[in-house]
Structure formats: structure tokens, C-alpha cells
Amino acid sequence: MATIYGHIKGIQLLRESVGGGTEQGFALVTFTLPAYTAASDTGSLGAGGYDRGVATTDSLATMIQKQRRDGKTVTLQNVNNGLCVVVEPGKHGATEFWTDTHAVSSGSITFELCDNAGSEINATSGVSDKAITLGVAYRLS
């Protein structure tokens, strides 16, 4: 089973901590994906791939933390509680691509690529005509 790393195109911080406490933040993460084979691949945001065109091994939490530039530690929230959502599906040709079965692993998010019904599907040419956007919740400390 191969891990297919996303190419992050941008991270937009939508909700920021007010007062510097351990409050929750929310970010939009936009990414494309190279070729993906259903049933044998897992997608990943972080721990490999590209961050705005630069090869990286940083976790997604570290990428968000670097963008914040305030020294606070970013911890991704449990995605099984609905704290990771597809905001906008990606597209390659006429096929729309979504993500499903999200999990947090060492500060990165893993997922399966699927259709709008939640069935895992192939993306033999990748997902690059239109990027996928995920909403990701995190906690600051």
C-alpha cells in the first residue's frame, strides 16, 4: 500500500485564537494529488509531498504552525468528530474527487480518495485540474 502525498497549494487561516490561550483554530488547506490507485493507496497531507512548491517532510500541523509565526504549538483535532471536512471537491477532467476516511497520524491527515457517494475511486492522472480544499480544525498551546 503506497502513501500518496498531497501537493499543498495554500493554507488559509480562517479562525484564529483571540487572547493567546489554548483556543481552537480552523484552516482551509488546498491541495492537488498525484496518481492514486483505489484499494492500494492512501492519501496524506503532511510527512511528505510539497508545501507551496517546495518539497517537505513537515507534518501538516508544522506547516500550519510555521504560517502562524507566533511560536504556538498546533495540534490537529480528531477528524472522526467532524473536524475535517471537504469544503470543495477537486476535479480532473469531468470527474470530481472528494476525500473520506480521514485520520490524524503524527500531525498529518491521511485519507482515501473517493467520489461524492463515498466510494473509493482511482485517479490515474491525479487530481490537478481543480484542487481539493479541506477544512481542518486545530488546537493551540
Q: For residue range 59-81, list pLDDT tens digits in order.
A: 999 999 999 888 889 999 876 65
* Cβ contacts of 95 within 8 Å, gap of 6 or more: 115, 121, 123
pLDDT on residue 22: 59
Does the structure show a pLDDT above 60 at 106? yes
C-beta atoms surrounding 6 within 10 Å: 28
Cell numbers placing 106? 503524527
- In whole angstroms, how large is the CA radius of gyration of the chain? 14
pLDDT on residue 11: 96
Decide which of 56 and 104 is more confident. 56
DSSP secondary-structure letter at 60? H
pLDDT on residue 79: 64
Could you tell me the pLDDT band of residue 23, with boundaries at 50, 70 and 90? confident
Decide which of 13 and 23 is more confident. 13
Could you tell me the pLDDT band of residue 130, with boundaries at 50, 70 and 90? very high
- Report the chain's mean pLDDT, rounded to a whole number: 89
Task: Please state, for a pLDDT cut of 70, what percent of the chain lies above it.
Answer: 91
Cell numbers placing 88? 470543495
Cβ 6 vs Cβ 51: under 8 Å: no
Domain boundaries, the chain: 2-140
Does the structure show a pLDDT above 70 at 49? yes
